[in-house]
Amino acid sequence: MTESKGGCLCGAIRYRLAEAPQAVAYCHCRNCQRASGAPVLVFGTVPRDAFVVEQGNPRRHRSSPIGERWFCGDCGCQIAMHVDYQIDTIDIAIATLDVPEASPPEFHIWHGSRIGWFETADHLTRYPDAGPDGSV
Ligand SMILES: [Zn+2]
Ligand SMILES: [Zn+2]
């Protein structure tokens, strides 16, 4: 995989990933919905040191007892989620990549809190809870 880059809406934050995101998943949890204002966020996991912020300084919000959300303090864009018990990895908001098409989702998590009118046309596994990854 070639190195990929991403950033927030306003351009204040730019980052690069030294490795391809793994375990890319739709997250339908209520925290993602409220953090983003969207029905779902898509996250992929990379080693913590493979996520390099090249410009700007993401703000952090402890959105639950298990972790922090990294976001742009200027435009509010959700950049990443860092979970306390997975300190060596970080979950990247895939839609903020410059080429999100390169990292398609592999499954759904927290499908139990999916908004009823929102459904995607795929046959990926729908986990009602945190799923195999156990995060986000
Ligand atoms: Zn921004
Ligand atoms: Zn979530």
Look up residue 52 and give its two tokens. Answer: 């390099």
Which of the ligands is closest to the CA of residue 93?
2
CA–centroid distance, residue 116 to ligand 1 (Å): 30
φ, ψ of residue 70 to 5 degrees: the values are -100, 130
Q: What is the pLDDT of residue 1?
A: 52
Structural domain spans, the chain = 4-126
d(CA 128, CA 114): 9
Q: What is the pLDDT of residue 134?
A: 67
Which of the ligands is closest to the CA of residue 76?
1
pTM of the full structure: 0.93
Which of the ligands is closest to the CA of residue 59?
1
Tokens 């156990």 map to which residue? 134
CATH of domain 4-126: 2.170.150.70
Q: What is the pLDDT of residue 3?
A: 78
Mean pLDDT, 10 residues at a time, the chain of 136 residues: 88 98 97 96 97 98 92 98 94 98 97 96 95 69
Residues facing residue 68 across a β-bridge: 62, 82
Q: What is the pLDDT of residue 132?
A: 87
Q: What is the largest CA-CA distance in the chain?
A: 38
Q: What is the mean pLDDT of the chain?
A: 94
**19, 50 contact by CB (below 8 A):** yes
Q: What is the pLDDT of residue 66?
A: 87
Which of the ligands is closest to the CA of residue 77?
1
Q: What is the pLDDT of residue 77?
A: 97
CA–centroid distance, residue 43 to ligand 1 (Å): 18
Which of the ligands is closest to the CA of residue 25?
2
Give the tens place of pLDDT for each residue, 74-113: 999 999 999 999 999 999 999 999 999 999 999 999 999 9
CA–centroid distance, residue 104 to ligand 2 (Å): 17
Rg of the chain in Å (alpha carbons): 14
